[in-house]
Amino acid sequence: MTIRDDHSLAADLATEAGERLLAVRAREGFADAAALRAAGDRESHVFLMEALARLRPSDHVLSEEATREERLDPSRLEAERVWIVDPLDGTREFAEEGRSDWAVHVALWERGELAAGAVALPAQGRTLGTGEPPKLPAHQGGRFRIAVSRTRPPEFVRNLAHLVGADLVPIGSAGAKISAVLTGEVEAYVHAGGQYEWDSAAPVAVAQAAGAHASRIDGAALTYNQPDPSLPDILVSLPDLAPTLLAGIRDLHR
């Protein structure tokens, strides 16, 4: 692995973790979904933690697969650089044969802002990163598409879609949903069912680098490396659709 800068590091780590996850799928098979999910979470987490410890030894790391004590370690709140990683986003989809909507997230938070990030979509053979952000597609007008959870789409998003004239597209992981906005499969992603910082840090870093809108559903800024890593709701969309979506969300919450 050749490391040039933090953008390249994020992309290289996410890509290699994804390749390892594909190998886990091939090795374990799909007969025991629980064992496959556990093996994927564990092996990707160990790889990312060892790589970051070796390549960026002075930085802190916030990982979904860390212990509760490690995640709540107050020392990261005083750090200038914290890597926020989700070793396997979309564990359910990872363990379902044929599904490609799962991801690896690697983001760098530095002095209050997301500074770099990458989302690997291993089963789709691509990694989106801040080093070379994707070019946003243009919305051609008319009805648009909103990515939602496959298993628990929030009721208010159904109502929002009806209000603004949109169709819902079920997709697996949060990283896959936000990537779908950046690649033109959908035009927006709205979620309010509970998430954590590692679910959105890397895809939001890429979305912001590409020029997409990314905020809480009330329009407030997304903030990372907080004492409580809960970050329960999010809106990511093409920039020209954000005013319509935010106004629709406000109307539904009155």
Known binding positions for Mg(2+): 64, 86, 88-89, 199
Q: Give the list of residues 6+ apart from residue 4 with CB closer than 8 angstroms, or none.
A: none
- The amino acid that residue 106 corresponds to is V
φ, ψ (nearest 5 deg) of residue 7: -65, -45
**Token code pair at residue 64:** 């979904």
> Where residue 46 falls among pLDDT bands split at 50, 70, 90?
very high
Q: What is the pTM of this model?
A: 0.94
pLDDT at res. 3: 55
Q: Average pLDDT, stretch 41-51? A: 97
Q: How does pLDDT run across 232-249, given as a tens digit for each residue? A: 999 999 999 999 999 999
Domain 6-129 in CATH 2.60.40.10? The answer is no
Q: How does pLDDT run across 125-135, given as a tens digit for each residue? A: 999 999 999 99
Q: Average pLDDT, stretch 84-98? A: 96
**Token code pair at residue 154:** 């929030």
Kindly report the CA angle at 45 between 102 and 88, in degrees rounded to 5? 10
Report the distance separating Cα 128 and Cα 162, nearest Å: 31
Q: How does pLDDT run across 201-217, given as a tens digit for each residue? A: 999 999 999 999 999 99
CA atoms lying within 13 Å on the CB side of residue 221 = 7
| Class (C level, CATH) for 144-253 | alpha beta
At residue 2, does pLDDT exceed 70? no
Query: Across the chain, what does the average pLDDT equal?
Result: 94
Q: Average pLDDT, stretch 177-195? A: 94
Asked if 117 contacts 202 with a C-beta cutoff of 8 angstroms, the reply is yes
Domain locations along the chain: 6-129, 144-253
